[in-house]
């Protein structure tokens, strides 16, 4: 790594700890569920899942797992 890239890497490590600088706007996730794979998408600050539970309740174990995983870099979840 050249000096310029080392400086950038140092800055990146600092940014990675300053999570208030980052807000993920959209994301497409392939989720290996216990029974079936699911596609989970973050769009406009809201999670959407193709599982049947999500269709009736608007929130599911897959979306809640991703809320937990990315809690520092996503907008606050809204209760359904």
Query: Taking CB under 5 A as the rule, does residue 66 contact Zn ion?
Result: no
Instruction: Evaluate whether 24 touches 70 at the Cβ level (below 8 Å).
Output: yes
Rounded (to 5) percent helix, strand, coil in the chain = 40, 20, 40
Query: Taking CB under 5 A as the rule, does residue 60 contact Zn ion?
Result: yes
The minimum distance between CB 62 and Zn ion, in angstroms, equals 4
The minimum distance between CB 74 and Zn ion, in angstroms, equals 16
Q: What are 29's two structure tokens?
A: 């996730």
Among 47, 54, 66, 74, binds Zn ion (CB under 5 A): 54
Binding site for Zn ion (CB under 5 A): 49, 51, 54, 60, 62
């Amino acid at each position: 790594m050249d000096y310029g890239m080392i400086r950038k890497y140092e800055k990146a490590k600092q940014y990675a700890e300053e999570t208030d600088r980052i807000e993920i706007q959209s994301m497409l996730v392939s989720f290996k569920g216990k029974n079936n794979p699911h596609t989970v998408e973050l769009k406009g600050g809201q999670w959407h899942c193709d599982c049947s539970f999500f269709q009736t309740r608007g929130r599911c174990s897959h979306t809640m797992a991703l809320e937990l995983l990315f809690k520092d870099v996503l907008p606050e979840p809204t209760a359904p």
